[in-house]
């Protein structure tokens, strides 16, 4: 979704801008003045949106001394992923640059970080189960398959049913991709995916098929570092056998990686051994 220029966004109501940003999967911080005492320019209920660099996108929560403090809090909220209440003491000469503004405010600052998306390539019970479980876990869902329809993927946010060349396969770096195409076009889709910076790529296939795909990718000129990004076998070791169990093991691995990323212990998705050696 294409956003309006920053100048046009800033002139609009902050809540309306927030909806636009959320639809475009853009992160932002919402700041709301929850208490104002004394000579404060902004009153209770005033709102503003900040981007991840602390730049104001829309709205207003006061002048320079107040805005600077809230902007720093917004940046900190992105780093922790948690909201906070900021005390803004406008009688402090440091904040007022030698000229106290007067008054005191409390500002609630909350980061709004869109959930990552699981891109599901393919159809059938595994793909449908992945869609259902992923939606239950709060992920965005994009189903990619020429036969995909709303009946098969009722929980999907988007269905890409006419993209045999995978031109619309544009995952973000923190998204997840699961290739469950049952051998149809898996090497082409993986070749495209490995040229993106998406953090997790899983291939649901037998060990034999996964080996053939890796060999194809080598012949296509991709190096071992890129090829080793593919999780195959994928999923946590659950002893999975049914389609639903296989989907559960993959979703479990995705949840584990997402939460580990949020804890800040890793920068990307580690390769993990799974139990998915499916029959050809």
Q: Is the pLDDT of residue 152 over 70?
A: yes
- Cβ–Cβ under 8 Å, residues 171 and 196: yes
Q: Residue 277: helix, strand or coil by DSSP?
A: coil
The bridge status of strand 104-112 relative to strand 28-37 is antiparallel
- Rg of the chain in Å (alpha carbons): 23
144 contact partners, CB below 8 Å, separation of at least 6: 119, 120, 121, 122, 160, 163, 166, 168, 169
The number of angstroms, rounded, from the C-alpha of 184 to the middle of its chain's C-alpha atoms is: 27
209-257 per-position pLDDT tens digit: 888 888 888 888 888 899 889 898 898 888 888 999 999 999 999 999 9
Q: Is residue 232 within 8 Å of 205, Cβ to Cβ?
A: yes
CB-CB contact of 230 with 214 (8 Å): yes
255 against 168, higher pLDDT: 255
The pTM (predicted TM-score) of the whole model is 0.72
CA distance 105 to 107: 6
**Coil, strand or helix at 128:** helix
- Model pLDDT for residues 90-141, shown as the tens digit of each residue: 765 444 434 455 678 899 999 998 889 999 998 889 999 999 999 999 999 9
**Domain segments of the chain: what residues?**
6-112, 117-263
Q: How many CB atoms lie within 10 A of CB 74?
A: 28
Q: Enumerate the β-bridge partners of residue 22.
A: none
**Class of domain 117-263 as given by CATH:** alpha beta
Determine if the peptide bond prior to 233 is cis (ω within 30°). yes
Phi, psi of 56 (to 5 degrees): -75, 135
Q: Token pair of 116, please?
A: 């990552």
d(CA 73, CA 84): 8
How far apart are alpha carbons 114 and 187 in whole angstroms? 30
Residue 59: closest CA among 70, 71, 48: 48
Could you tell me which residue, 165 or 78, shows the higher pLDDT?
A: 78
How does the average pLDDT of the chain come out, rounded?
82
């Amino acid at each position: 979704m294409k956003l309006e220029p920053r100048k046009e966004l800033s002139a609009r109501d902050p809540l309306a801008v927030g909806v636009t940003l959320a639809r475009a999967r853009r992160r932002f911080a919402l700041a709301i003045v929850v208490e104002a005492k004394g000579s404060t320019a902004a009153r209770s209920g005033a709102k503003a949106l900040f981007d991840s660099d602390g730049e104001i996108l829309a709205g207003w929560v006061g002048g320079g001394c107040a805005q600077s403090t809230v902007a720093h809090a917004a940046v900190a909220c992105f780093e922790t992923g948690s909201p906070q209440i900021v005390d803004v003491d406008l009688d402090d000469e440091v904040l007022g640059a030698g000229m106290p503004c007067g008054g005191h405010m409390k500002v609630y600052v909350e980061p709004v970080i869109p959930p990552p998306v699981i891109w599901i390539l393919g159809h059938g019970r595994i793909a449908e189960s992945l869609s259902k479980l992923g939606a239950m876990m709060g992920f965005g869902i994009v189903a990619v398959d020429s036969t995909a329809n709303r009946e098969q993927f009722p929980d999907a946010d988007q269905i890409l049913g006419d993209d045999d060349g995978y031109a619309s396969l544009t995952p973000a770096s923190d998204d997840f991709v699961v290739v469950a195409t049952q051998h149809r076009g898996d090497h082409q889709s993986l070749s495209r995916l490995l040229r993106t910076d998406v953090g997790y790529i899983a291939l649901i296939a037998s060990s034999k098929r996964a080996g053939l795909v890796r060999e194809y990718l080598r012949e296509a000129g991709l190096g071992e570092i890129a090829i080793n990004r593919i999780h195959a076998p994928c999923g946590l070791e659950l002893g999975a056998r049914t389609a639903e169990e296989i989907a559960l093991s993959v979703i479990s691995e995705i949840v584990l990686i997402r939460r580990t990323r949020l804890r800040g212990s890793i920068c990307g998705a580690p390769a993990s051994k799974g139990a998915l050696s499916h029959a050809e």
